[in-house]
Amino acid sequence: MSTSADTVSPSRYLALEQLERVSHDEAFVERLAVDDADERARRQARELVAGVTRQRRWLDFVLAKAYNDDYEAMESRLRQILRLGLYEMLFQSTPTRALVHQYVELAKQTLRPGAGNLVNALLRTIDRDREHIPTPDTGDEAKDLAVRHSHPTWMVRRWLKRFGAEATPELLEWNNRRPMYSVRINPLRTGDDAVTTWLDDHDVVYTRSPHLDDHLRLRRLQPLVQGDLLDDGHVAVQDESAGLIVRLLDPQPGDTVLDGCAAPGGKTMAMAGRMEGDGTIYAVDAKEERVGLIEEAAEAQGAEALVDTEAAELQAVADREDPPLADRVLLDVPCSGLGVLSKRADLRWKRAPEDLDELAALQDDLLDAAARLVQPGGLLVYSTCTIEPEENEERIEAFLARHDDFALESAEGYVPDDMVTAEGYFASLPHRHRIDGAFGARLRHVPS
């Protein structure tokens, strides 16, 4: 896409290009990169794409109400341009006159002059009536909330039943916020004082995690990237919920640990730090290219001596005549990811209700395999980054019904008390605990 004209900012061209990639190629928003643009333009484009992707259903509702024709029949590129313009108008502080001019020009240059006229008319009409933007009012509470907060209706319907009419909007609003990032200080490379001194010296605003003494919260990661703290392995991006899963496993120096779905290696590296460089971590993942990410992380973070990797299906490892046995096994299974929607802007549109059943079957298979890799007396921790019972509590209940040689242990003492459920599971809820949603269960191997 040409950016020769000076009238449209490069970031808006890039945002349009990336939205089309997400739509047509099913690219992941957080992995998008454009090599021929400066970092500022790339960052602005990523923010626009993430915002439009989160708010897409609400933006389409407002645009459809203002359009005097069939909005669904509108060509895709024109719809993306209008979404971008409306997102900036409603959610950013860009002066209306400037942004309308930009998107009119973008439509003219990437489509035709008449498309620019339509963008001008629609955006200015909505701006004039900004105080009277319509709200969804179908009489279906779930659908109206889903449109207003830009989520699939099926998700909202589930959460209304479970969390109620007061808490569900809080969850939806959390998912639509610009995410807060968390980094873990890597004790194999540095210490708390060195990292916080560097942040203070570079005027990077941070706060300490209220849950984990080795985690810091930041709004922006860019200063750490530019300062090489990430590349040098001094810190690693890791949500506090993931750090709490590692605390639930509680690996100790000298342990033999198996990480059953290890890539990209964030929890593997956190375990290495907790083990103080003493012990063995057997990191297994089904995809060879993703195992490479674990190896890169181990090298960067000083954990090569602890981590032994293998590209293999966990079920195949468990089926071996002499499978490796571990004191502690972490099984962080593939899941719907419905606890991390604030960071995965596009994920809400990629999931369907039937995915939960398919994932549950895979999760059961992986649990059965992982159980065969735990030493007698050892510990298996099952974890997810979802808040859905079908992938969490129901999987553990079904597992215990199949395996009378395992017993559930309480998460109490390993994670904050308000994240321990009545049954003894670890469960974090984004709208309640202000971190990603996650689940974990401690399962002790107690053969008779």
Adjacent-strand bridge partners of 408: 443
CA-to-CA distance for 392 and 135, rounded, in angstroms?
A: 35
b vs e for 319-330, b when ≥16 Cβ sit within 10 Å of the residue's Cβ? eeeeebbbbbbb
Cα-flanking dihedrals φ and ψ of residue 374, to 5°?
-100, 125
Q: Are 81 and 107 in contact (CB under 8 A)?
A: yes
- List helix spans (H) across 92-239: 96-110, 113-128, 141-148, 153-175, 192-201, 222-226
Q: Which residues are catalytic?
A: 385
Q: Where do we find the tokens 């890169």?
A: 296
CA-to-CA distance for 12 and 17, rounded, in angstroms?
A: 9
CA-to-CA distance for 171 and 432, rounded, in angstroms?
A: 8
Cβ neighbour number for residue 347 with a 10 Å cutoff: 18
Cα-flanking dihedrals φ and ψ of residue 125, to 5°?
-65, -45
